[in-house]
Amino acid sequence: MVFSRSILSLILVIVATFLVSCGSPTTAKVPETYTTAQIEQIHEYAPDILTLRDRMDRELQTLIQRRDWINVSNFIHGPLGELRLKMTYVSRNLLPQDQQKARDKTRDLFDHLVKIYQAAQDGNYQRATLNYREALTDIDTFLQLVPQPSAEQPQPLESEA
């Protein structure tokens, strides 16, 4: 009788161990919403990206049309030099499913800016224009990943801004 209890206890231990080891641990899921800190970080840099995009649309386009290659190069290295940094700050604070696409668009943008710079060095108007359009598309796609301010978030008053 003692022997059968020992065997029964051993079988129960084996079954319990098996059941526990087959169970999957619950993993914490990353929330699919933005925290207040992420929104603040994103909205600190997103307006600067939009401003630089608008400057590209006005200034860089005009410089390319005038074939002012020296100032095209200066504009790419000057005002657009900080664009990558700002886009990287925003990318880090996006939702996980958007981060890789944002990094890819940032990389694509800078590939196109390098090509514009090379076209300026060669005096190649068509290549500069083509890559300029592609660069604007990259920024626009990137900005679509940025969450828009919601109506619930307090907006600064005109006098505070």
Per-residue pLDDT of the chain (161 residues; tens, 9 = 90+): 666 777 767 676 677 777 667 766 666 565 578 888 888 889 999 999 999 999 998 999 999 999 999 999 999 999 898 898 899 999 999 999 899 999 999 999 999 999 999 999 999 999 999 999 999 999 999 999 998 866 444 444 344 44
Q: Which amino acid makes up residue 28?
A: A
Copy the structure tokens of residue 146: 């940025």
pLDDT of residue 156: 44
Residue 10, pLDDT score: 67
Domain ranges of the chain: 35-144
Which one-letter DSSP state was computed for residue 59? I
The confidence score (pLDDT) of residue 14 equals 79
Assign residue 94 a region (left: φ > 0; alpha: ψ between -120 and 50; beta: otherwise): beta
Kind plus residue range of the DSSP H or E element containing 147: none
What fold characterizes domain 35-144? Four Helix Bundle (Hemerythrin (Met), subunit A) (1.20.120)
The C-alpha atoms of residue 15 and residue 32 are separated, in whole angstroms, by 38
Predicted model pTM:
0.71
In terms of Cα–Cα distance, which of 129, 110, 112 is closest to 69? 129
